[in-house]
Amino acid sequence: MDDLSCNLYFLARVLVILIPLLLASLKLRTTMRKHKPRLPPGPWRLPVIGHLHHLAKTPLIHRALADLARRCNAPVMYLRLGELDAVVVSSAAAAGEVMRTHDVAMATRPMSATVRATAAGGLGIAFSPYGERWRELRKLSAMELLSASRVRSFRAVREDEATSLVAGIAAAACPPGGELVNVTARVAASVSDSALRAMMGERFERREELLETITQVLKIGTGFNMGDLFPSSRLVAAIDGTVRIAQAMQRKLFQLVDYAIEQHRERRSGPSAATDAEEDEHLLDVLLRIHVEGGLGCSLHEPCKILGYDVLKGTIVLVNAWAICRDPKYWDEPEVFKPERFEEGATDFMGTDFHYTPFGAGRRICPGIAFALANVELVLAALLFHFDWHLPPGVTPSELDMAEEMGVTLAASRKFQIKFIPFSKRCKGGDNPRTGTPVTVVDVLAELP
């Protein structure tokens, strides 16, 4: 074979290999373009950190996300947060698609490294992946722990705690003391005691430690620590240190719960056990019974579309309920305190109106609604009934610092000091017109619908 034939033969062989490859790559590109997901819009991003720099202005992430969504005019917005893909939902219509239309696909909560450490990998109901185990836990909550009849059974505990709260404030507020009262701390302690007594039947000896640990867990579990955003990097996790702190907290929580179980078991087997009425069953008894009797997988995020945009498998979907609750599209003067906006009862808070979802919605809606309402309603009604509330001298309502603190739940960053003036008749133990006896918190309860 001469040189020319040799070259032509070589060229032909190259072409025979290249042309199919080129055609295949062209076809792949056309197919990919045709099937390229239509991701939601988002702001400009940087390498490595993605969109994190847009959130650096404030530690209050919900505010930064709301601001960004508004500026991008994006009720559904895509963000790359370090190594994580996230979609932020900031409108009621999109929230409805997440929590109703795609309820099943969204039913496994994302678990950041910090949450994984504090929640022991998702053993409890709140972070258990959607599946058989979660269904069992949910059934247990609905039928045994948080049912309407169980919540009713703790009525005496609630009334007792509310009475102590009112008495404590009255003692501090009545002359000659007449001091300012830290209402945040007092209400938090009272509601916690009520919940702990419902769980164990007694005040927990190590209550302060337990409440402090829970408060810390709620503060660090937001999912926005550096270790959460770069989960594959051991270096970032080591420098950030939050996961290590979370592990220590989880150990502490388990220790405290073990202690509570032991204390409860001892009490149940002690001399008073025989006199305990059968209906005197607390939440810990129910759990221990089920543990003895026996009883008690993971389905992930399918890809789906929200308002026409593709949300890919593995994406974290954040419904910014805070932003939706402040959207003038749904609320008249959203930043103004107007309790009368709820008077007609036109807005549902049980997960059907997606512009107001304080308890969430869909499959993972809060199962503790009845328990929560019974406590909140009584405490608020008792304090409003017994006292006139005043701000500390010289402070006007517009000067009140209403800023919130970042955490799993958003609490006011500042403790509220209130001057409580007992309504004089009630302060002196005035008469209940029906019974002729002093008005008590039980009378307040009776007035409730």
Binding site for ligand HEM (CB under 6 A): 125-126, 138, 146, 358-362, 364-368, 371-372, 376
**Contact residues for 80 (Cβ-Cβ < 8 A; gap 6+):** 42, 45, 50, 51, 86
Is 173 or 311 the residue whose CB approaches ligand HEM more closely?
A: 311
Instruction: In angstroms, give the least distance from the CB of 399 to ligand HEM.
Output: 27
Q: How many CB atoms lie within 10 A of CB 136?
A: 15
Instruction: In angstroms, give the least distance from the CB of 294 to ligand HEM.
Output: 22
Is 83 or 144 the residue whose CB approaches ligand HEM more closely?
A: 144
User: What is the DSSP-derived secondary structure letter of residue 312?
Assistant: -
The pairing of beta strand 84-89 with beta strand 316-319: parallel
Instruction: In angstroms, give the least distance from the CB of 368 to ligand HEM.
Output: 2
Is 154 or 387 the residue whose CB approaches ligand HEM more closely?
A: 154
Instruction: In angstroms, give the least distance from the CB of 141 to ligand HEM.
Output: 6
Q: Which three-class secondary structure state does DSSP give residue 431?
A: strand
- In angstroms, the CA 337 to CA 344 distance is 16
Instruction: In angstroms, give the least distance from the CB of 411 to ligand HEM.
Output: 11
Residue linked to tokens 């800023």: 403
Instruction: In angstroms, give the least distance from the CB of 362 to ligand HEM.
Output: 6
List residues forming the annotated binding site.
366
Is 365 or 406 the residue whose CB approaches ligand HEM more closely?
A: 365
Is 221 or 367 the residue whose CB approaches ligand HEM more closely?
A: 367
316 has which bridge partners?
A: 86
Q: What are phi and psi of 417, to 5 degrees?
A: -95, 125
388 has which bridge partners?
A: 421
Cis amide prior to 37 (ω within 30 degrees):
no
Is 77 or 140 the residue whose CB approaches ligand HEM more closely?
A: 140
CB 174 within 8 A of CB 358: no
Residue 297 token pair: 């997988």
Instruction: In angstroms, give the least distance from the CB of 193 to ligand HEM.
Output: 13
* Segment 280-288 long-range contacts (CB within 8 Å, at least 24 positions apart): 280/201, 281/153, 282/197, 282/198, 282/199, 282/200, 282/201, 283/145, 283/150, 283/198, 283/199, 283/200, 284/199, 284/200, 284/201, 284/260, 285/201, 286/144, 286/145, 287/145, 288/261, 288/264
Is 93 or 170 the residue whose CB approaches ligand HEM more closely?
A: 93
Is 60 or 317 the residue whose CB approaches ligand HEM more closely?
A: 317
162 burial level (CB within 10 Å; 0-12, 13-18, 19+): buried
Residue linked to tokens 């069992």: 136
- In angstroms, the CA 307 to CA 317 distance is 13
Instruction: In angstroms, give the least distance from the CB of 256 to ligand HEM.
Output: 17
